[in-house]
Amino acid sequence: MTKYLYEKDLRKMKLNILVSPLHDRLVRTLADRYNISRQEMRTQLIEKCDMILLESLPTRYDDWIQNSDEGSLVQEALGYNLMTKHIPIINKSDMNEVLVEIQARISEGMQEELAVTEGKIMIRELILR
């Protein structure tokens, strides 16, 4: 019986992509942003992204940096478009729930910086799910 490429486990190939210097820098940036270990961030990217998406991660991140007019400072601070559009590892409905929750906390009087920190904790839980 012939084994086709798409039937093989591609995790090693994906890991090879993510440990390249450019990709490793991006993984470190994302891991630091959401307070996740680099290894765990790599694992999540390997599980949630295909090979083509993994190859283009640095370019997608750069595009997000250059076009970061996301509508509100809270959205930008949380990385709304980063995690739903540019590096789509969180679905929009889950991210919208986080955004609504954080905006509600801010409107109730919580400091914006503290609310964003709590939002990043919520996003970390979504990434690790």
19-76: per-residue pLDDT in tens? 999 999 999 999 999 999 999 999 999 999 999 999 999 999 999 998 876 668 889 8
Half-sphere CA count of 122, side-chain side, radius 13 A: 18
Q: List, for residues 96-124, the tens digit of each pLDDT value.
A: 999 999 999 999 999 999 999 999 999 99
**C-beta atoms surrounding 97 within 10 Å:** 12
pTM over 0.95: no
**C-beta atoms surrounding 68 within 10 Å:** 12
Distances (CA, A) of 77 to 29, 48, 52: 14, 23, 27
Q: Long-range contact list for 15-20, CB < 8 A, 24+ apart?
A: 15/42, 15/46, 17/51, 17/54, 17/55, 18/42, 18/45, 18/46, 18/54
CA-CA-CA-CA torsion sign (38, 33, 17, 8): positive
**C-beta atoms surrounding 61 within 10 Å:** 19
